[in-house]
């Protein structure tokens, strides 16, 4: 994750989305939000034992990126900020022309909310979406409540307060996940402590994620960009203001080792990292944490495709191999790998980072499909199973995924920057994948362009792959004489004008 985006880019969004500094706690929920949020029984607060860190209930959090809410300015989708700026080569003064557009996907479009509290309403909707997928809370990416260089990040902090207000109403957990290691490592510890205390005070009882001792769990992204001493100062400042806290640091990729963790052990209840983005590069450090008597929070991702690149690297992607990356990460979280304990917590990376195409949130390109596919593994995880089995399937569903062009495709209109694959990991492939979750076997028909394939999908989880061809893609399964068809509605073609090396998903259920 790299949020070191251009100052112009952040400022343009921040100006258009600034929330007032006054508290929004206790604002009545709208009828629209009530309709969007089904009633859900909230699981008990996670409980940690002092002697050896354990949890009574397995919880799943999703990293929330405050740059990409459902709507940025409550405008009609045809002319909102996503359409006019993020998805346009001429957006924000043409700074994205070199790679075609800043994003390739966006949240599911919706009409403007007829309320001055539209930001709150939209956050309530996102909470409802998250609950649909079995998510217990958002791990909120907290940026400093300050100007950092030429960039004013204060509007994002106000947006975080509005999200907390929505969580208050919907009784949804919030994990504080400050990003001062990744983007602003020079931010003073006392200043960060002050920001976190303000968010804690904005929350009602039971909303901010705490341990059994009542300590607020602070889970910084790229914690290792700062020293343990820095984080001790953050915790000490919070304590001086009456807020006891403990660390659950998220390290950069594979940076966590038993030797390195020794310096963090006294201030941490566990550890995590940002995880792998291709099936050949998925890992867990649950064994290290278990030996240390601490918690392990397993990162779970589905893909990583960056239209704008990061850190000046240009557009790039990792080969997710359809949904294979998702399954590889969940196998680790479930404890399906021999010798590796199951995770104590799970962090979905991410809920809504459309800039890196790592999002699980409902979107134009995959609807609710990723959230729904993920929910099968969430259910197995919470039931303490090591896999999704036929007996655990309550609703049958079929998923289909593919790219919009082959991985070697170059756009018709050559942009100065074209996509490149990262050096390590799984080799790129051109495949259509069909995944079924069935109570019993069923006949499946797959159509890829002019080609048709038939097979029998077995009960439980069943995966089948086919060669990517030009044309439209669909898959159908039959049950009790009725056919259930899933189609992405996106034509596969190498005559596109824009590159997009992320996968699109579609699904159907009975």
Domains of the chain with bracketed CATH = 7-52+59-387 (3.20.20.80), 400-509 (no CATH)
Write down the pLDDT at residue 253: 74
* Statement: residue 120 has pLDDT above 90: yes
CA separation for the pair 313, 422 (Å, rounded): 10
CA separation for the pair 307, 354 (Å, rounded): 10
CA separation for the pair 498, 358 (Å, rounded): 19
Contact 269, 247 (CB under 8 A): yes
| Band of residue 19 on the pLDDT scale cut at 50, 70, 90 | very low
Considering the chain, what is the average pLDDT of its residues? 88
Q: Looking up tokens 């075609």, which residue turns up?
A: 100
* Statement: residue 313 has pLDDT above 80: no
| Band of residue 53 on the pLDDT scale cut at 50, 70, 90 | low
Label each residue of 82-112 as H, E or C.
HHHHHCCCCHHHHCCHHHCCCCCCCECCCCC
DSSP letter assigned to residue 484:
E
User: What is the rounded average pLDDT of the residues 359-366?
Assistant: 96
* Statement: residue 37 has pLDDT above 80: no
Q: Per DSSP, what are the bridge partners of residue 318?
A: 304
| Band of residue 40 on the pLDDT scale cut at 50, 70, 90 | very low
Write down the pLDDT at residue 14: 40
Give the chain's largest Cα–Cα span: 68
* Statement: residue 43 has pLDDT above 60: no
User: What is the rounded average pLDDT of the residues 403-432?
Assistant: 85
* Statement: residue 125 has pLDDT above 90: yes
> What is the side-by-side strand order in the sheet with 420-421?
304-306, 316-318, 420-421
**If you count them, how many residues does the chain have?**
510
| Band of residue 35 on the pLDDT scale cut at 50, 70, 90 | very low
Q: Assign residue 275 a region: left if phi > 0, alpha if psi is -120 to 50, beta otherwise?
A: left
| Band of residue 68 on the pLDDT scale cut at 50, 70, 90 | very high
pLDDT in tens, 250-305: 998 778 899 999 999 999 999 999 999 999 999 999 999 999 999 999 999 999 99
* Statement: residue 11 has pLDDT above 80: no
User: What is the rounded average pLDDT of the residues 359-382?
Assistant: 97
Nearest to 323 by CA among 303, 337, 307: 303
Write down the pLDDT at residue 84: 97
User: What is the rounded average pLDDT of the residues 329-342?
Assistant: 96
Write down the pLDDT at residue 487: 97
CA separation for the pair 420, 460 (Å, rounded): 36
**Interstrand relation of 295-300 and 345-348 (parallel, antiparallel or unpaired):** parallel
pLDDT in tens, 209-243: 999 899 999 999 999 999 999 999 999 999 999 99
Write down the pLDDT at residue 419: 86
pLDDT in tens, 176-214: 999 987 667 779 999 999 999 999 999 999 999 999 899
**What are 141's two structure tokens?**
């990416």
Nearest to 332 by CA among 257, 276, 291: 276
Contact 434, 444 (CB under 8 A): yes
User: Which has the minimum average pLDDT: 236-240, 406-410, 463-467, 485-489?
Assistant: 406-410
Contact 97, 88 (CB under 8 A): no
pLDDT in tens, 472-483: 999 999 988 899
Contact 321, 425 (CB under 8 A): no
| Band of residue 319 on the pLDDT scale cut at 50, 70, 90 | very high
Highest mean pLDDT among 35-39, 93-97, 272-276, 465-469: 465-469
- Asked whether the CA dihedral 53, 55, 58, 64 is positive or negative, the reply is negative
Write down the pLDDT at residue 311: 65
Query: Between residues 425 and 162, which one has the greater pLDDT?
Result: 162
Write down the pLDDT at residue 412: 67
* Statement: residue 56 has pLDDT above 90: no
* Statement: residue 3 has pLDDT above 80: no
């Amino acid at each position: 994750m790299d949020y070191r985006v251009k100052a112009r880019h952040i400022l343009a969004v921040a100006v258009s989305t600034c929330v007032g500094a006054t508290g929004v706690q206790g604002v009545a929920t709208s009828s629209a939000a009530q309709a969007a949020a089904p009633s859900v029984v909230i699981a008990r607060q996670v409980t940690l034992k002092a002697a050896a860190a354990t949890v009574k209930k397995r919880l799943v959090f999703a990293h929330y990126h405050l740059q990409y809410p459902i709507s940025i300015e409550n405008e009609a989708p045809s002319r909102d900020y996503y359409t006019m700026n993020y998805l346009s080569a001429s957006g924000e003064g043409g700074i994205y022309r070199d790679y075609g557009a800043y994003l390739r996907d966006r949240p599911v479009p919706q009409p403007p909310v007829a309320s001055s509290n539209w930001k709150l309403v939209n956050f309530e909707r996102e909470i409802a979406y998250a609950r649909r997928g079995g998510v217990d809370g958002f791990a909120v990416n907290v940026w400093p409540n300050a100007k950092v260089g030429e960039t004013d990040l204060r509007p994002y902090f106000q947006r975080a307060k509005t999200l907390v207000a929505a969580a208050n109403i919907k009784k949804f957990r919030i994990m504080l996940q400050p990003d001062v290691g990744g983007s602003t490592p020079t931010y003073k510890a006392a200043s960060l402590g002050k920001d976190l205390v303000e968010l804690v005070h904005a929350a009602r009882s039971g909303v901010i994620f705490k341990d059994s001792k009542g300590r607020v769990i602070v889970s910084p992204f790229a914690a290792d960009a700062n020293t343990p001493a820095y984080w001790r100062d953050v915790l000490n400042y919070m304590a001086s203001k009456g807020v006891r806290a403990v660390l659950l640091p998220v390290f950069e990729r594979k940076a966590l080792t038993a030797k390195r963790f020794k310096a963090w052990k006294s201030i941490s209840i566990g550890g995590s990292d940002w995880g792998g983005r291709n099936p050949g590069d998925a890992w867990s450090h649950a064994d290290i944490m278990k030996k240390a008597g601490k918690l392990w929070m397993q990162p779970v991702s589905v893909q990583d495709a960056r239209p704008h690149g990061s850190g000046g690297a240009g557009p790039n992607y990792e080969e997710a191999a359809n949904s294979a990356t998702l399954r590889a990460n969940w196998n680790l979280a479930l404890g399906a790998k021999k010798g590796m304990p199951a995770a104590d917590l799970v962090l979905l990376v991410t809920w809504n980072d459309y800039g890196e195409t790592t999002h699980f949130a409902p979107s134009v390109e995959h609807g609710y499909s990723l959230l729904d596919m993920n929910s099968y593994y969430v259910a197995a995880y919470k039931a303490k199973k090591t896999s999704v089995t036929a007996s655990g399937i309550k609703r049958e569903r079929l998923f289909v995924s593919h790219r919009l062009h082959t991985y070697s495709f170059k756009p018709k209109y050559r942009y100065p920057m074209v996509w490149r694959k990262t050096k390590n990991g799984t080799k790129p492939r051109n495949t259509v994948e069909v995944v079924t979750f069935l109570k019993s076997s069923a006949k499946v028909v797959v159509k890829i362009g002019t080609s048709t394939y038939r097979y029998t999908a077995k009960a439980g989880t069943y995966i089948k792959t086919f060669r990517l061809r030009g044309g439209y893609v669909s898959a159908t399964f039959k049950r009790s004489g009725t056919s259930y068809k899933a189609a992405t509605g996106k034509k596969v073609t190498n005559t596109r004008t824009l590159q997009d090396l992320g996968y699109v998903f579609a699904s159907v259920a009975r």
